[in-house]
């Protein structure tokens, strides 16, 4: 079978919230009394996006590429991880068509930061990539509803070069 000209991928991530830690989503630092418990900066949106891109290019997953046991990724800005993933996707013979991210958070309010988030992602992925970022609450249900954690889903479409 000829290689398909387009591939899609899906990614999911969640990190626990604790008081007094930094809260960074899509590379943007958001003022909030809680932040992520994580080996890296805990940017769930970027981790979900990395996994979507790695899935669509069949290159494994983020935990395999950047093992949490590796001290060089301690506290790492996940934009650096996204840059590495985007380069690997290119090397594997794909251009990124679009990405679509959902952030599931009761608080903080994400909407005021969407513009900065999109600009930040465009600076890594390129201006030609269609970037969508959306946020929703969890209607106060479950861990996200109780503000114990924030989750994110992402999908993407890759175009074979
Ligand atoms: Mg993660």
For residue 95, report the distance from its CA to the centre of ligand 1, in Å.
Answer: 24
**Tens of pLDDT along 14-46?**
999 999 999 999 999 999 999 999 999 999 999
pTM > 0.85: yes or no: yes
Q: Are 98 and 130 in contact (CB under 8 A)?
A: yes
| Tens digits of residue pLDDT in 141-161 | 999 999 999 999 999 999 999
> What is the distance in A from the centroid of ligand 1 to the CA of 27?
13
Tokens read off for 154: 């992402």
Question: What is d(CA 24, CA 77) in angstroms, rounded to the nearest whole number?
Answer: 9
CA of 14 to the centre of ligand 1 (A): 6
d(CA 76, ligand 1 centre) in Å: 11
How many angstroms separate the alpha carbon of residue 92 from the centre of ligand 1?
23
């Amino acid at each position: 079978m000829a290689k398909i000209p387009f591939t899609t991928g899906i990614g999911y991530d969640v990190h626990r919230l604790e008081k007094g830690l930094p809260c960074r989503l899509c590379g943007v630092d958001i003022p909030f009394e809680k932040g992520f418990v994580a080996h890296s900066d805990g940017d769930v949106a970027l981790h979900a996006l990395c996994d979507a891109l790695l899935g669509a290019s069949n290159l494994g997953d983020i935990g395999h590429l950047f093992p949490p046991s590796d001290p060089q990724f301690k506290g790492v800005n996940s934009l650096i991880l996204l840059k590495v993933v985007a380069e690997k996707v290119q090397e594997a013979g794909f251009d990124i068509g679009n990405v679509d991210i959902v952030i599931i958070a009761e608080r903080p309010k994400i909407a005021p930061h969407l513009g900065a988030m999109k600009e930040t992602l465009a600076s890594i992925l390129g201006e030609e990539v269609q970037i969508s970022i959306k946020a929703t609450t969890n209607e106060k249900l479950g861990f996200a509803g109780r503000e114990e954690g924030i989750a994110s889903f992402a999908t993407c479409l890759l175009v074979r070069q």
